[in-house]
Amino acid sequence: MTRFLLTMGCAVIFSGAAMGAADTWSNVPLVDTMCSTKVKDHPDAHTKACALQCATGGFGIIAADGTFLKLDDEGNAKAVAALKAATTSDHVRVTLAGERKGDTIEVASLRLQ
């Protein structure tokens, strides 16, 4: 009986850890929310200047399947910092990790490519 309870306890612990695991999106376009629909077909042509100009609306990524996923407040702050540090004027791509909740990502980390 003790072995059974120990096994079940471990199963619960490991399944809980897996549920909180972060997702990763690699080398995806970072765009502002206001322009997301307009630039969906050609996100790499979207400029850094435009993204910073529209920063008040927040940011997101265009995932490999074409889905636009918004960033949470922390992710938006990280996106602004990344854009300000970017040396390119367009083709702004990032790798980020976080937890997807619906169409929003709770960003844990974000870095330019």
Residue 107 has pLDDT above 70, yes or no: yes
Q: Report the pLDDT value the prediction gives residue 2, as an integer from 0 to 100.
A: 53
Domain borders along the chain are 22-112
- Close Cβ partners of 51 (under 8 Å, ≥ 6 residues apart): 30, 31, 32, 35, 59, 83, 92
pLDDT tens digit sequence for 32-56 = 999 999 999 999 999 999 999 999 9
Positive or negative torsion for Cα 67, 73, 59, 63: negative
In a 13 Å sphere around the CA of 53, the CA atoms on its Cβ side amount to: 6
Say which DSSP state 47 is in.
Answer: B
Among the residue ranges 13-17, 18-22, 83-87, the one predicted with the least confidence is 13-17
Coil, helix or strand for 1? coil
pLDDT of residue 12: 43
The torsion of the CA quartet 43, 49, 50, 56, rounded to 10 degrees, works out to 120
Mean pLDDT for the stretch of residues 51-71: 96
Amino acid at 67: T
pLDDT of 38: 95
pTM value > 0.85: no
Tell me what the mean pLDDT of segment 66-78 comes to.
97
